[in-house]
Amino acid sequence: MSADHTNEETTADNRFNWLFDASLIILAATSTAVVVVAGLVQVSFGSYSMTFLEAWRAVFNLDVILDARVWNAFLFGGELPDIGERSLIVWNIRLPRVFVAVLVGANLAVSGAIFQAVTRNELASPFILGVSSGAGLAILLTLVVLPGLTIVIPLIVGQFVLSTSNLLPLFASLGGIAAFLVVYVIAWRGGTSPVRLVLAGVIVGTVFSSLQTALFFFADDIGVVQNAVAWTTGSLRGTDWEQVRIALPWTVAAVGLAVAGSRQLNVLLLGERTASSLGMSVERVRFALSGVAVLAAAASIAVAGIVGFVGLIVPHMVRNIVGSDYKKLIVGCLFAGPALMVAADVGARLGMGVLTGSEAQQIPVGIVTGLIGGPYFLYLMRRQQNMGEI
Amino acid sequence: MKPEASEDKGRVEDEESAENPSDIVGENLVVGYGAGENVIENESMVAEPGKVTALVGPNGSGKSTLLKALANHLAPDEGVVSVDGSEINDLNKKEIARRLSMLSQESISPDSITVEELVTHGRYPHRGFFETMTKEDREAVERAIELAGIEHLRNRELGSLSGGQKQLAWIAMVLAQETGVLLLDEPTIFLDLRHQLEVMRIVETLRDESDVTVVVVLHDINQAARYSDRMVVLKDGCVSARGKPEEVLTEELLADVFGIEARVENTDRGPRIEPLRPTEDDG
């Protein structure tokens, strides 16, 4: 048996050949265009009025983009040099929100894609294994039980102040991760299976959601309730570079691991038995990949709360376009997730203004993604005969 | 089939020696599915190195269960399975998968994956976490595709194939593993005659032209008789006969194990049985 097929082209093995796939490139280009256009719309509107042209000039202001001190301020929290009023508003107030949306969209999409492979179910979302209910409960507990908490930790230089508002993101993420671990413990009996995991997710989700709803009765003022609703439906209101700094390292880690694990995901899709006879330690790989997905979900929860539907729809849309090869799917999600999230946030921030005329009104972005997600699934249901298993 | 001397020093080392055919031995196996009775009761089974061994028996006789125990899909309650002299429990999963491959009865896959991609997954145990496909991996994939006779299908999506074509693609995937031992669980079930013959032709090629040790569970006794060097007949979790097909397949055995009256004819392609009717006494 000779291998005469193995010519120069295939022996010169290229790790990234698969990236040059027409549908993937089109998807990436379209998504990038959506992000740019929606981002430019976002920076052009706001209470400080400027024209489109002024806003766009501020975005592409090379004095800002090429200044290392500015980036030091943005990414590491250093002191911001004087960059002019318009640039300040665009770069320090409006653009960070777009960047956070990009990070949240990428995280949720990748997380959903992983969970869909792990559970072999294309209706799985980042929150299928209890993450959202755990995070929601943690959010309510923090807001209701520790409303005005301030802890001052004296340090040698100055002091470190912990208050409810800056503990909330941490608690929300930890709540989600804890719920995921509880789900795994419940599902474990000498090993686990997709069905057991999903069932355990439903069990934990039901109990935690009940507790979360019960806690609403202990919230004594409307502000706390609104804050809780914003967090549990997901909102990008008031996000700035601080949120970018929180989410970015985790996003990079989670996305890197997801891309590296895409071949494992592909083999996992062949079913547990096949994966196991091919030499995969299925339980270990499944837990590790779920952990990566939970990390991505937790990073997005920390900055935006629990944004629904993005992690469910995006992998689905991408799969319809590039197929179920996870190498392409994950990369596709990295583009399509931000596109959906940034576009939805335009609706969340500016939509109410268009509808009611009052510019101050904003709705949580999770409401918009839900309004997009429902009809999309209706459309799929009509078009596709069988949905469910990948 | 197996790669000769390995020139890939840096890669995952293939421990098995290339000269001697691999053997797989199950000793004093007691296998069950947790609660209830054991399906296999203290049986041993040795597959002759480099040959094809067929496991046959009526429904529920435990032939698939025995195969699963050999493949490490089911942990036996007692007894040990060893491949090439190493106990399977002492090997890690990738080491096992480099020594023995197993094609289960029904396999699932996403519809949009191509045949070539599927076959490429057969190289999983030979690749490290970050490793790309080496020249050797590609050659193994090519050999497997050629041996399975599916060059014309390589770029087709699995969802667009017939059941028989799919089965050939799956066989190519386990062939790409290039293991010394190949286990097949009823590879011809639900296939039309042509595809049954194509599958069995692969087994025949492995028998005649390679050192791969094949253990195959077959439903069709005639197929087993024609393509195997050794047969192991199971009844109620016990081996009732083993040996060459022409020694094993007798009218008494068929009556005793399968509960049928049959005529056995010796042809140049091995014994042929013609089932006549169920025996009277069986309840």
Q: How confident is the model at residue A359, as a pLDDT?
A: 60
Residue B14 has pLDDT above 50, yes or no: no
What confidence tier does A46 reach under pLDDT thresholds 50, 70, 90? confident
Q: Rounded to a whole number, what is the distance in Å from the CA of B177 to chain A's nearest CA?
A: 8
Q: Rounded to a whole number, what is the distance in Å from the CA of A224 to chain B's nearest CA?
A: 46
Average pLDDT over residues A153-160: 67
Second-level CATH architecture of B24-248: 3-Layer(aba) Sandwich (3.40)
**CB-based contact, A165 to chain B, within 8 Å:** no
Average pLDDT over residues A78-94: 87
CA-to-CA distance for B80 and B96, rounded, in angstroms? 14
Nearest to A324 among B101, B112, B142 (CB): B112
Residue B89 has pLDDT above 80, yes or no: yes
Average pLDDT over residues A190-194: 89
Contact A279 B96 (CB under 8 A): yes
Contact B132 A260 (CB under 8 A): no
**CB-based contact, A323 to chain B, within 8 Å:** yes
pLDDT in tens, A304-313: 999 999 999 9
- The most confident of A76-90, A146-160, B12-26, by mean pLDDT: A76-90
Q: Does some domain include residue A46?
A: no
**Within 13 Å and on the Cβ side, how many CA atoms surround A182?**
20
CA-to-CA distance for A312 and A318, rounded, in angstroms? 11
A255 against B279, higher pLDDT: A255
Number of domains present in the structure of chain A: 1
Long-range contacts of A205-210 (CB under 8 A, 24+ apart): A205/A127, A205/A130, A205/A132, A205/A133, A205/A179, A206/A133, A207/A133, A208/A130, A208/A133, A208/A134, A208/A136, A208/A137, A208/A179, A209/A133, A209/A136, A209/A137
Q: How far apart are the first and last CA of chain B?
A: 46
Residue A290 has pLDDT above 90, yes or no: yes
Dmax over CA atoms of chain B, in Å, equals: 64
Q: Does some domain include residue A37?
A: no
CATH number at residue A317: 1.10.3470.10
Residue A188 has pLDDT above 50, yes or no: yes
For β-strands B78-83 and B100-103, DSSP reports them as unpaired
What separation in angstroms does the CA of B190 have from each of A319, B56, B162, B219, B226? 30, 17, 11, 11, 19
Residue A389 has pLDDT above 70, yes or no: no
- The amino acid that residue A178 corresponds to is A
Q: How confident is the model at residue A161, as a pLDDT?
A: 67
**CB-based contact, A23 to chain B, within 8 Å:** no
Residue A388 has pLDDT above 70, yes or no: no
**CB-based contact, A325 to chain B, within 8 Å:** yes
Which of B93, B136, B183 best probes binding to A when mutated, by most A CB atoms within 10 angstroms?
B93
Using a pLDDT cut of 70, give the percent of chain A over it. Answer: 89
**Of B159, B275, B143, nearest to A5 (Cα)?**
B143
Residue B8 has pLDDT above 70, yes or no: no
**CB-based contact, B113 to chain A, within 8 Å:** yes
Q: Within the 288-307 window of chain A, which residues sit less than 8 Å (CB to CB) from chain B?
A: none
**Of A247, A293, A240, A206, nearest to A92 (Cα)?**
A240
- Per CB-CB distance under 8 Å, the chain A contacts of B96 are 279
**CB-based contact, B134 to chain A, within 8 Å:** yes
Residue A148 has pLDDT above 50, yes or no: yes
Q: In this prediction, does ipTM exceed 0.85?
A: yes
Q: State the DSSP H helix or E strand holding residue A136, giving kind and residue range, or none if neither.
A: helix A131-145
**Locus of tokens 């920076």:** A43
Question: Do A122 and A389 form a contact (C-beta atoms < 8 A)?
Answer: yes
Q: How confident is the model at residue B127, as a pLDDT?
A: 92
Nearest to B97 among A1, A5, A278 (CB): A278
pTM of the model: 0.89
Contact A6 B107 (CB under 8 A): no
Q: Does some domain include residue A44?
A: no
Q: How confident is the model at residue B13, as a pLDDT?
A: 43
Contact A274 B107 (CB under 8 A): yes
Residue B231 has pLDDT above 80, yes or no: yes
B38 against A388, higher pLDDT: B38
**Locus of tokens 């004095």:** A63
Q: Does some domain include residue A271?
A: yes
What confidence tier does A7 reach under pLDDT thresholds 50, 70, 90? very low
Nearest to B132 among A5, A6, A13 (CB): A13
Question: Do A186 and A208 form a contact (C-beta atoms < 8 A)?
Answer: no
pLDDT in tens, B123-138: 999 998 888 889 999 9
Strand-pairing partners, residue B38, are B32
Q: How confident is the model at residue A387, as a pLDDT?
A: 66
What confidence tier does B67 reach under pLDDT thresholds 50, 70, 90? very high
Q: How confident is the model at residue B63, as a pLDDT?
A: 93
Contact A278 B125 (CB under 8 A): yes
Using a pLDDT cut of 90, give the percent of chain A over it. Answer: 55
Strand-pairing partners, residue B40, are B31
Residue A287 has pLDDT above 60, yes or no: yes
B45 against A389, higher pLDDT: B45
Residue B11 has pLDDT above 70, yes or no: no
* A9, A10, A12, A13 alpha-carbon torsion, rounded to 10°: 140
Cβ-based neighbour number of residue A101 at 10 Å: 33
Q: How confident is the model at residue A247, as a pLDDT?
A: 92
Kindly identify which residue of chain A lies nearest to residue B151, measuring between CA atoms.
Answer: A5
Which of A264, A274, A281, A289 best probes binding to B when mutated, by most B CB atoms within 10 angstroms?
A274
- Domain, as residue range, for A365: 96-383
Contact A277 B101 (CB under 8 A): yes
Residue B54 has pLDDT above 60, yes or no: yes
A269 exposure class (CB count in 10 Å sphere: 0-12, 13-18, 19+): buried
**CB-based contact, B225 to chain A, within 8 Å:** no
Average pLDDT over residues A9-18: 57
Lowest mean pLDDT among A245-254, A324-333, A380-389, B159-168: A380-389
Q: Left, alpha or beta for B250 (phi > 0: left; psi -120 to 50: alpha)?
A: beta
Q: Rounded to a whole number, what is the distance in Å from the CA of B139 to chain A's nearest CA?
A: 6
Q: How confident is the model at residue A15, as a pLDDT?
A: 66
Angle at Cα A222 formed by Cα A219 and Cα A225, nearest 5°? 55
Mind giving me the DSSP string for A35-53? HHHHHHHHHH-SSS---HH
Question: Do A154 and A117 form a contact (C-beta atoms < 8 A)?
Answer: no
- Per CB-CB distance under 8 Å, the chain B contacts of A279 are 93-98, 124-125
Residue A16 has pLDDT above 80, yes or no: no
Q: Rounded to a whole number, what is the distance in Å from the CA of A109 to chain B's nearest CA?
A: 20
CB pairs < 8 Å spanning A and B: 84
**CB-based contact, B98 to chain A, within 8 Å:** yes
Within chain B, all domains assigned CATH 3.40.50.300 are found at 24-248
Average pLDDT over residues A356-380: 84
Task: Give a three-class secondary structure readout of chain B.
Answer: CCCCCCCCCCCCCCCCCCCCCCCEEEEEEEEECCCCCEEEEEEEEEECCCCEEEEECCCCCCHHHHHHHHCCCCCCCEEEEEECCEEHHHCCHHHHHHHEEEECCCCCCCCCCEHHHHHHHCCHHHCCCCCCCCHHHHHHHHHHHHHHCCHHHCCCEHHHCCHHHHHHHHHHHHHHCCCCEEEEECCCCCCCHHHHHHHHHHHHHHHHHCCCEEEEECCCHHHHHHHCCEEEEEECCEEEEEECHHHHCCHHHHHHHHCEEEEEEEECCEEEEEEEEECCCCC
Residue A390 has pLDDT above 80, yes or no: no
Contact A323 B71 (CB under 8 A): no
Kindly identify which residue of chain A lies nearest to residue B3, measuring between CA atoms.
Answer: A1
Contact A269 B109 (CB under 8 A): yes
Q: Within the 181-220 window of chain B, which residues sit less than 8 Å (CB to CB) from chain A?
A: none
Residue A8 has pLDDT above 60, yes or no: no
Lowest mean pLDDT among A44-53, A122-131, A354-363: A354-363
Q: What is the mean pLDDT of chain A?
A: 87
- All residues at 6 or more sequence positions from B119 whose CB lies less than 8 Å from its CB, including other chains: B141, B144, B145, B154, B169, B172, B173, B176
Q: Rounded to a whole number, what is the distance in Å from the CA of B106 to chain A's nearest CA?
A: 10
Q: Say what angle helices A365-383 and A310-322 make with each other, to 10 degrees.
A: 40
- The most confident of A35-39, A213-217, B40-44, by mean pLDDT: A35-39
Strand-pairing partners, residue B275, are B262
A153 exposure class (CB count in 10 Å sphere: 0-12, 13-18, 19+): exposed
Kindly identify which residue of chain A lies nearest to residue B95, measuring between CA atoms.
Answer: A279
pLDDT in tens, B156-194: 999 999 999 999 999 999 999 999 999 999 999 999 999
B182 against A378, higher pLDDT: B182
Long-range contacts of A353-359 (CB under 8 A, 24+ apart): A353/A45, A359/A47
- Per CB-CB distance under 8 Å, the chain B contacts of A265 are none
DSSP structure class, residue A67: -
CA-to-CA distance for B232 and B56, rounded, in angstroms? 6
Q: Does some domain include residue A216?
A: yes
Q: State the DSSP H helix or E strand holding residue A330, giving kind and residue range, or none if neither.
A: helix A326-356
CA-to-CA distance for B39 and B55, rounded, in angstroms? 15
Q: Rounded to a whole number, what is the distance in Å from the CA of A174 to chain B's nearest CA?
A: 29
Contact B71 A274 (CB under 8 A): no
Q: Rounded to a whole number, what is the distance in Å from the CA of B93 to chain A's nearest CA?
A: 5
**CB-based contact, B156 to chain A, within 8 Å:** no
Q: How confident is the model at residue B17, as a pLDDT?
A: 44
Average pLDDT over residues A366-372: 92
Q: What is the mean pLDDT of chain B?
A: 89
- The amino acid that residue A148 corresponds to is G
Average pLDDT over residues A377-390: 75
Token representation of residue A116: 């869909």
**CB-based contact, A1 to chain B, within 8 Å:** yes
Residue B247 has pLDDT above 70, yes or no: yes
CA-to-CA distance for A371 and A383, rounded, in angstroms? 19
CA-to-CA distance for B223 and B55, rounded, in angstroms? 11
Q: Rounded to a whole number, what is the distance in Å from the CA of A80 to chain B's nearest CA?
A: 41
